[in-house]
A and B are shown apart, each in its own frame.
Chain A
Amino acid sequence: MSELYANEPMMDMYIFETTQNIEQLETCILDTEKAGYYSQNVVNEIFRIMHTIKGSSAMMLFNNISMLAHTVEDLFYFLREHKPEQIDYSTLSDLVLEVVDFIKGELDKITQGDKVNRDSTILSSKIKDYLEELKQQNAITELIEKPVIEKQSHYYIAQDKTENKINLHMYKAIIFFDDGCEMENIRAYTITHHLRDMADEIYYLPQDIIENDESIHLIREEGFQLYVKINKTYNEMFEFLKQTIFLKDLELIELDNDEEFKQFYKPIKKIILDTPPVMIPKINNQNYQEGKEQTITSSNQSIISVNVAKLDKLMDLVGEMVIAEAMVTQNPDLKGLTIVNFHKAARQLHKITTELQDMVMAIRMVPLSTTFHKMHRIVRDMSKKLGKEVKLELIGEETEVDKNIIEHISDPLMHLVRNAIDHGLEATKDRVTLEKPKIGKVTLEARNAGSDVLILVKDDGKGLNKQKILDRARENDLLIKTENEMTDKEIYNLILLPGFSTKEAVSEYSGRGVGMDVVTNNIEAVGGSVSIDSEEGIGTTITLKIPLTLAIIDGMNISVGKSRYTIPTTTIKESFRPKENDLIKDPDGNEMIMVRGQCFPILRLHELYKVKTEVTDFTQGILIMVEQDEKTLCIFADMLLGQQQVVVKTLPSYIKSTRKIQGLAGCTLLGDGNISLILDIGGLVNLNG
């Protein structure tokens, strides 16, 4: 199998299909657990999934996975065939989920190219023990299933041919099969079955090839001996047997008399064996339709799966193309030329690149449903361990975000859901005394909001306790403002700070020293933000605001001295040249501007980034009012250069490692070849306090 093994598409397919199967299995278990018992359909489904995983894994030589899947297959085979009545469904679900986790873990290793070697024997024997227990409880001694074919079938005499004995030849054949071809007894049976249509009498040794799989060893050692009375010449007979698959050695002797047949004659009964009546199943159309819906694996010809690395590359290329387009259409050499046709063509090009870009984005968009559905498992495990009854509600799971972003938010979401159940929801008995619904509710909601996606994790638990937060913050020296100056929102946001979560809060699921700051970091890494709302006694809502995509944004280019900066257009409210008398300075020397009766702080970019510029007087430059997280700021720059789509590139690591520069989200290449720094407005407004 080594040649297949090395084959990359095979590996991709293996990972893809097994992952899909495992997820299907998990959903299956979680759904049935609610129902309280495993329906026949579910048992069949799990059996089938495990059978498939066993087969594929064995082909890929992942023997630990294959062996484990085999054990589960056996268990569900038992459930399917014997339908035992006393089943400990809870343990069964736990076991299967443990298997799911094991295989998931191994699949991750495979994906990362690590060695797959975790020992599955302990888990396997746990399942075997469970099966044994099940058998004992249900008092089922294992019956060896009798094959459909009757025992006497080791010889066969055709009824209508017995009179016609004149042309009969008698043969003895000894057949050896290739080493390692497996199931020699069934191969032998295949020969006898195919001979039946032609031969008058067939006898063979060993006689118990059908019902005794041990006969394999005898066939391997002594060969399969066949005695046939048939109306065929030696050559015909030889040719027929030559057709046997995996034939290693064939010895065919024509017998002069039926001496050797006599050993089989003891019961002088004629046994006529008709092929068991062939039942043709009716294809139930309704069934078929249902099956279609059930199997996600059904190969829909109009869908193909593509390696994400290729999509990343495509995205990069489109990004480069957007830059190249700007380089051509905004080329400095074109300045001052009247070139009508060029502009026409350039507009056409721009239209196409924009469409292409939208399409590439659309391809990369993945619905959140998979990520959301993963939470069912967490809710199940936690509610079981903590003894809290929890209902998970999913809203807007069809909302789509960029594939790369999904990977970044999966862990934070898990953390938030765990927090909600562990710290947010009250114990079931407390809820009863509080006259709240007995079952706690955690809601996961996603919806689009402009160029962002909002993801809300809501619980109807006890809500955040402001006093406790303040106490904890004070202990850990996290307060920057005086306590009574802080708004509720600012107090809640304290829990997002690194160092807030202390080890006192450690439980099995949440607060493993990993605090909410990790959530914040992950979300900020994709350019998103976290905010918290809470009401004591009613519940807590944590909102993640995430950009739809990372790669290309609409930006306003500005200049300060010789430097270029880009501000994401979504954050810009307006830009204007201020009048002298609208400017205010507070006693600390902070500059402010009065706009329509409201005061806004001013940030001089040239001062922040220490850029040399001749424009230091507000009346000569321009102010750009930006807003994020409900905070507003006016940025002072020399001039606006124009609006453009820019491709976001991360800052090179040598810059990031030398110094942490605040307020930068990345950089981009402009049409004229200049590099522009993309401002992180969220960072800037918070920097300003």
Chain B
Amino acid sequence: MPKVLVVDDAAFMRLALKTILERNGFQIVGEAENGAVALKMYQEYKPDLVTMDITMPVLDGIQSLKAIRQYDPKAKVIIVSAMGQEGMIKEAIASGAKSFIIKPFKEGHVIETLTKIATA
């Protein structure tokens, strides 16, 4: 069961991802509301996958992604972002994000993305 860390400042989005992932056989090991907490949780829980929102307070998704990748170059981070943030997503991919999910997301898309990244 792949272990997932969900990072998003919106509790609603965390719940949405958690609901989708848990009923598809993923285990949520942690939920972080900003990038700084995410880094701490990553070090603590060693998740297989991280879903990472971009727009967050304290430490945004890109900075947090970089920090996590520096701590663990093999970290599998999937960016969760909205239409209109193409530039940010490109930057995230260039910084080592494995893939991305577009909000509003569909259950099938989320699962396909995470499953492929988990097994890759």
- Interface residues in chain A, defined as those with a beta carbon under 8 Å from any beta carbon in chain B: 1, 3-4, 7, 9-10, 13-14, 16-18, 44-45, 47-48, 51-52, 54-56, 58-59, 70, 145, 147-149, 181-183, 185-187, 189-190, 193, 210, 213, 243-246, 275-276, 278-281, 283, 287-288, 291-292, 294-295, 297-299
- By beta carbon, the residue of chain B nearest A48 is B55
* Residue in contact with A17 in the complex, picked from B12, B20, B89, B116, CB distance below 8 Å: B12
Chain A residue numbers with a CB within 8 Å of B113 are 245-246
- By beta carbon, the residue of chain B nearest A287 is B58
* Residue in contact with A59 in the complex, picked from B57, B87, B104, B117, CB distance below 8 Å: B104
| CB contact under 8 A between A291 and B34, given known A243-B120, A245-B112 | yes
| 24 contacts across the A-B interface (CB closer than 8 A) | A9-B15, A9-B19, A13-B12, A55-B10, A55-B103, A55-B104, A59-B104, A182-B102, A186-B86, A189-B90, A190-B100, A193-B94, A244-B116, A245-B99, A245-B116, A246-B109, A278-B66, A278-B96, A283-B36, A283-B59, A288-B58, A295-B57, A295-B58, A299-B14
Q: Is B83 an interface residue (CB 8 A)?
A: yes
Chain A residue numbers with a CB within 8 Å of B13 are 52, 55-56, 59
Type the 1/0 row for B81-118, where 1 means its CB is closer than 8 Å to any CB of A. 01110110111011110011011111101001100110
Chain B residue numbers with a CB within 8 Å of A288 are 36, 58-59
| CB contact under 8 A between A280 and B70, given known A54-B82, A243-B116 | yes
Q: Is B29 an interface residue (CB 8 A)?
A: no
Chain A nearest Cβ from B39, distance in angstroms = 7
Chain A residue numbers with a CB within 8 Å of B55 are 47-48, 51-52
Contact, CB under 8 Å: B93 / A246: no
Question: Which of A149, A210, A281 lies at the interface centre, i.e. has the most chain B CB atoms within 10 A of its CB?
Answer: A281
Residues 49-76 of B at the A interface (beta carbon under 8 Å): 55-59, 63, 66-67, 69-70
Chain B nearest Cβ from A328, distance in angstroms = 44
| CB contact under 8 A between A1 and B39, given known A183-B89, A276-B94, A288-B58 | no
Chain B residue numbers with a CB within 8 Å of A17 are 10-12
Question: Which of A183, A187, A189 lies at the interface centre, i.e. has the most chain B CB atoms within 10 A of its CB?
Answer: A183
Type the 1/0 row for B15-39, where 1 means its CB is closer than 8 Å to any CB of A. 1100110000000000101101001
Instruction: Provide the bound-state CA to CA distance between A299 and B32, in Å.
Output: 8
* Residue in contact with B83 in the complex, picked from A147, A182, A190, CB distance below 8 Å: A182
* Residue in contact with B107 in the complex, picked from A3, A58, A149, A297, CB distance below 8 Å: A3
Instruction: Provide the bound-state CA to CA distance between A210 and B90, in Å.
Output: 8
Chain B nearest Cβ from A468, distance in angstroms = 53
* Residue in contact with A145 in the complex, picked from B10, B14, B58, B87, CB distance below 8 Å: B87
Contact, CB under 8 Å: A51 / B82: yes
- By beta carbon, the residue of chain B nearest A77 is B84
Contact, CB under 8 Å: A52 / B90: no
Instruction: Provide the bound-state CA to CA distance between A182 and B84, in Å.
Output: 11
Task: List 7 tightest A-B contacts by C-beta distance, closest first.
Answer: A291-B58, A58-B104, A281-B63, A59-B104, A56-B12, A52-B10, A55-B103
Chain A residue numbers with a CB within 8 Å of B70 are 278, 280
Contact, CB under 8 Å: B90 / A291: no
Chain B residue numbers with a CB within 8 Å of A9 are 15, 19
Chain B residue numbers with a CB within 8 Å of A55 are 10, 13, 82, 103-104
Question: Which of B58, B66, B91, B105 lies at the interface centre, i.e. has the most chain A CB atoms within 10 A of its CB?
Answer: B58
Chain B residue numbers with a CB within 8 Å of A281 are 59, 63, 66-67
- By beta carbon, the residue of chain A nearest B23 is A3
Contact, CB under 8 Å: B90 / A147: yes
Contact, CB under 8 Å: A280 / B66: yes
* Residue in contact with A48 in the complex, picked from B9, B87, B89, B105, CB distance below 8 Å: B9
Instruction: Provide the bound-state CA to CA distance between A403 and B89, in Å.
Output: 44
Instruction: Provide the bound-state CA to CA distance between A612 and B91, in Å.
Output: 87
Instruction: Provide the bound-state CA to CA distance between A186 and B33, in Å.
Output: 26
Instruction: Provide the bound-state CA to CA distance between A59 and B113, in Å.
Output: 18
Chain A residue numbers with a CB within 8 Å of B16 are 4, 10, 59
Contact, CB under 8 Å: A52 / B67: no
| CB contact under 8 A between A148 and B91, given known A14-B12, A295-B57 | yes
Chain A residue numbers with a CB within 8 Å of B82 are 51, 54-55, 58
Contact, CB under 8 Å: B100 / A183: yes
Chain A residue numbers with a CB within 8 Å of B67 are 280-281, 283
Chain B nearest Cβ from A149, distance in angstroms = 6
Chain B nearest Cβ from A598, distance in angstroms = 61
Chain A residue numbers with a CB within 8 Å of B86 are 183, 185-186, 213
Chain B nearest Cβ from A232, distance in angstroms = 16
Chain B residue numbers with a CB within 8 Å of A147 are 87, 90-91
- By beta carbon, the residue of chain B nearest A194 is B98
Chain A nearest Cβ from B51, distance in angstroms = 13
Chain B residue numbers with a CB within 8 Å of A16 are 11
| CB contact under 8 A between A59 and B12, given known A1-B106, A299-B31 | yes
Contact, CB under 8 Å: B11 / A48: no
Chain B residue numbers with a CB within 8 Å of A244 are 116
Contact, CB under 8 Å: A291 / B36: yes
Chain B nearest Cβ from A416, distance in angstroms = 35
Chain A nearest Cβ from B92, distance in angstroms = 9
* Residue in contact with B95 in the complex, picked from A245, A278, A297, CB distance below 8 Å: A278
Chain A residue numbers with a CB within 8 Å of B11 are 13, 16-17, 297, 299
Instruction: Provide the bound-state CA to CA distance between A280 and B68, in Å.
Output: 9
Chain B residue numbers with a CB within 8 Å of A183 are 83, 86, 89, 100, 102
Instruction: Provide the bound-state CA to CA distance between A279 and B112, in Å.
Output: 31
Contact, CB under 8 Å: B12 / A279: no
Given contacts A245-B112, A281-B59, 12 further A-B contacts (CB under 8 A): A48-B57, A58-B103, A59-B13, A59-B103, A147-B87, A186-B100, A189-B90, A189-B93, A245-B117, A295-B34, A297-B10, A299-B33
Chain A residue numbers with a CB within 8 Å of B83 are 182-183
Instruction: Provide the bound-state CA to CA distance between A668 and B94, in Å.
Output: 70
